[in-house]
Amino acid sequence: MSLSRRRARALSAADRALWQAYVVNVEALPGRALPPPEATITPIVAPAPQPAPGAPIALPVAWQPPPIQVNVTPAGLDDKRWRALRRGKTKPERTLDLHGRRAQEAHDAVRGFLLDAFADGLRCVAVITGRGSS
């Protein structure tokens, strides 16, 4: 069985131009010289499409959070567990109280709390929020 090597493909003109644009500000290491630059090739740039005259211009839409769904079982929970949570039958295994913390402190505390709870395999935690201040 013979192992054959694939012959390396030559770079396209667009790839060469992109590489040259990428390494334009590269400096040589101390005591070494940069290799001579390859023949510069101007990249082919397609003109930006122009909207048809009289056509409405679509403005970028700001991100909108998904709508809140009430009384819908969240992903990852079966109906029985969801009912138990809603009715208060499932007790939290750990609780975090955020009263008296500023926004950044609270954010850091919640992140750490949830990471620890996940690492410990906890299924139900409670986060008690305060009024909040910045």
Quote the CA–CA distance of 59 and 28 in Å, as a whole number.
45
The tens-digit pLDDT sequence of the chain (134 residues) is 556 677 777 888 888 888 888 888 888 888 888 777 666 556 667 777 777 777 777 788 888 888 888 888 888 888 898 888 889 898 889 999 999 899 999 999 999 999 999 999 998 899 998 765 55
Quote the CA–CA distance of 29 and 7 in Å, as a whole number.
31
Q: Cα separations (Å) of 68 from 64, 72, 74, 130, 133?
A: 12, 10, 11, 22, 25
For residue 25, the cross-strand partners are none
CB burial string 50-74: b at 16+ within 10 A, e below: eeeeeeeeeeeeeeeeeeeeeeeee
Instruction: Give pTM, 2 decimals.
Output: 0.44
